Amino acid sequence: MPARLLLPLFLVPALLVNLATFLAPMLNLAMLSFREGMPGGSIGTMFTWATWQDVLTDPYYAELVLWSVALSLFITVLTLLCAYPIALFVHRAPERWRNLLMVACISPLLVSAVVRTYGWLVILGEHGVVASALQALGIAPPRMIFNTTGVVIGLVEILMPYMVLSLLAGFGRLHASLEEAASSLGAPPLVVFRRVVLPLTLPGILLGCLLAFVLSVSSFITPKLLGGGRVFLLATEIYDQAIVTLNWPVAAALSMLVLVIFGLALLLYGRAVRAVE
pLDDT-based confidence at residue 40 (cuts at 50, 70, 90): low
Q: What is the mean pLDDT of residues 142-154?
A: 91
The answer on pLDDT for 1 being more than 70 is: no
Model confidence at 29, pLDDT cuts 50, 70, 90, reads: confident
Whether 27 has a pLDDT exceeding 80, the answer reads yes
33 and 51 Cβ atoms separated by less than 8 Å: yes
The strand pairing partners of 43, in sequence order, are 37
Q: What is the pLDDT of residue 5?
A: 66
Res 4: pLDDT? 67
- Does residue 137 carry a pLDDT above 90? no
Cβ neighbours of residue 20 closer than 8 Å, sequence gap 6 or more: none
Residue 219 has pLDDT above 70, yes or no: yes
Identify the DSSP state of 43.
B
Tell me the sheet residues that pair with 37. Answer: 43
Lowest mean pLDDT among 16-20, 27-31, 103-107, 208-212: 16-20
179 confidence band (pLDDT: 50, 70, 90)? confident
pTM of the model: 0.89
Name the maximum alpha-carbon separation found in the chain. 79
Q: Do residues 227 and 146 touch, judged by C-beta distance below 8 A?
A: yes
pLDDT category at 160 given cuts 50, 70, 90 is very high
Measure Cα distances from 75 to 69, 136, 145, 270 in Å.
Answer: 10, 29, 16, 21
Q: What is the distance between the alpha carbons of residues 121 and 128, in angstroms, rounded to a whole number?
A: 8
pLDDT value at residue 42 = 67
**Hey, CA dihedral for 98, 100, 105, 110, is it positive or negative?**
positive
Q: What is the mean pLDDT of the chain?
A: 87
3-class secondary-structure state, position 37: strand
Closest CA to 226 of 132, 155, 162, 138: 155
pLDDT higher than threshold 90 for residue 156: yes
Helix or strand holding residue 191 (H, E):
helix 189-192
Alpha-carbon gap, residue 105 to 97, rounded angstroms: 12
Percent above pLDDT 70 for the chain: 95
Q: What is the C-alpha end-to-end distance of the chain, expressed in Å?
A: 40
Reply yes or no on whether the pLDDT at 46 is more than 70: yes
Question: What secondary structure letter does DSSP report for 49?
Answer: S
Beta bridge partners of 259: none
| pLDDT over threshold 90, residue 158 | yes
Would you say 147 and 124 are in contact if contact means Cβ atoms under 8 Å apart?
Answer: no
Binning pLDDT at 50, 70 and 90, where does residue 82 land?
very high
Cα separation, 73 vs 154, whole angstroms: 15
Tens of pLDDT, residues 58-75: 999 999 999 999 999 999
Measuring CA to CA, how many Å separate 237 from each of 52, 123, 269?
15, 26, 26
List the domains of the chain with CATH numbers. 59-276 (1.10.3720.10)
Beta bridge partners of 185: none
- Predicted local distance difference test score (pLDDT) of residue 196: 84
Residue 42 C-alpha from the chain's centroid? 33
Q: Mark out the alpha helices in the chain (DSSP H runs).
A: 3-18, 24-32, 50-57, 59-92, 95-106, 113-124, 129-136, 148-169, 176-184, 189-192, 198-217, 221-227, 234-239, 248-276
